[in-house]
Amino acid sequence: MNDPQWQLVDDFLTERLAPADAALKATLEANATAGLPAIDVSPLLGKLLHVLVKAVGARSILEIGTLGGYSTIWLARALPAGGKVTTLESDPDHAIVAKANLTRAGLYHLVDLRLAPAAETLAELKAQACPPFDFIFIDADKPSYPEYLTWCLQLSRPGTVIVADNVVRAGKIVDASSSEPDVQGIRRFLDMLAAEPRLSTSALQTVGKKGYDGVAIAVVLR
Ligand code: SAH
Ligand code: DHB
Ligand code: MG
């Protein structure tokens, strides 16, 4: 599923609303050179994260899944003075590239890049009584989304916005009998969102250069 019209419209909107600059371009080039998978958020989704961070006035951001730091750049650029992004990555090769990309972008001083399996860092943050995050972006291994949501609720306050990437997976999420762990993880995550009285959640299907996928957007109520 990849209609050429989606790509034309994605390009049209991206040129106007989320044009690449030197740092964003250099980041995607460095990722490709280092052999990282091209699974960064699209420019328009990066810009959506940026807009949401600004709208919420978020000062502390948690990102689960850094890759080369492309989405981290969009998030960090939306921070007010004194703000910080904590971003979790388990792959040392990815973390090295992300550090270089964020440094080149002049943003590394705003970023706390934690190299460890995310579940470990999340437990550590909770154990150390980390103050609640204002904004959370979940974008790491899909089978762990349910576990990440449980931690995120413990690291939130009323008003915290939680965005999760890849909740549609080319439509595969409607297949209850799917044998893909990614699909089952996302399905369980969506069921948790639906059943969680502390959250109010919506989701958007997205199409474009990165194919057919979607994001869930939740706000913590209490
Ligand atoms: N947010 C990035 C893309 C993230 S891709 C962007 O849009 O630019 C998903 C990342 O999650 C990969 O870099 C992968 O190494 C990382 N990841 C996978 N499993 C993880 C885990 N258990 N803990 C932390 N990071 C993990
Ligand atoms: C995959 C992961 C992502 O975060 C994404 O945006 C697209 C694809 C993947 O693991 O295939
Ligand atoms: Mg993703």
For residue 170, what are its two tokens? Answer: 């080319």
Whole-angstrom distance, CA of residue 158 vs CA of residue 171: 31
Non-local CB neighbours of 200 within 8 Å, separated by 6+ positions = 218, 219, 221
Cα dihedral value 178, 153, 92, 106, nearest 10: 120
Nearest partner of 148 among 138, 157, 163, 156, judged by Cα: 138
In a structure prediction context, what are the per-residue pLDDT tens digits for the chain, which is 222 residues long?
Answer: 678 999 999 999 999 999 999 999 999 999 999 999 999 999 999 999 999 999 999 999 999 999 999 999 999 999 999 999 999 999 999 999 999 999 999 999 999 999 999 999 999 999 999 999 999 999 999 999 999 999 999 999 999 999 999 999 999 999 999 999 999 999 999 999 999 999 999 999 999 989 999 999 999 999
CATH number at residue 146: 3.40.50.150
Tell me what pLDDT residue 3 has: 85
Q: Which residue's C-alpha comes closest to atom 12 of ligand 1?
A: 67
Any alpha helices (H) in the chain, and if so which ranges? Answer: 4-17, 22-33, 43-56, 70-76, 92-104, 118-127, 145-154, 181-195
Looking from the CA of residue 182, the nearest atom of ligand 2 is 10
Please count the structural domains in the chain: 1
Question: 42 in ligand 2 pocket by Cβ < 6 Å?
Answer: no
The reply to whether the predicted model has a pTM over 0.85 is yes
Tell me what pLDDT residue 132 has: 98
Q: Which domain holds residue 165?
A: 4-220
Tell me what pLDDT residue 44 has: 98
Whole-angstrom distance, CA of residue 51 vs CA of residue 74: 9
Q: How many CB atoms lie within 10 A of CB 145?
A: 28
For residue 103, how many C-alpha atoms fall within 13 Å in the half-sphere facing its CB? 8
- The answer to whether 181 and 155 have CB atoms below 8 angstroms apart is no
Q: Say how many Å lie between the CA of residue 222 and the centre of ligand 1.
A: 28
Tell me what pLDDT residue 141 has: 98
Tell me what pLDDT residue 1 has: 67
Question: 86 in ligand 1 pocket by Cβ < 6 Å?
Answer: no
Question: 40 in ligand 2 pocket by Cβ < 6 Å?
Answer: no
- The answer to whether 217 and 137 have CB atoms below 8 angstroms apart is no
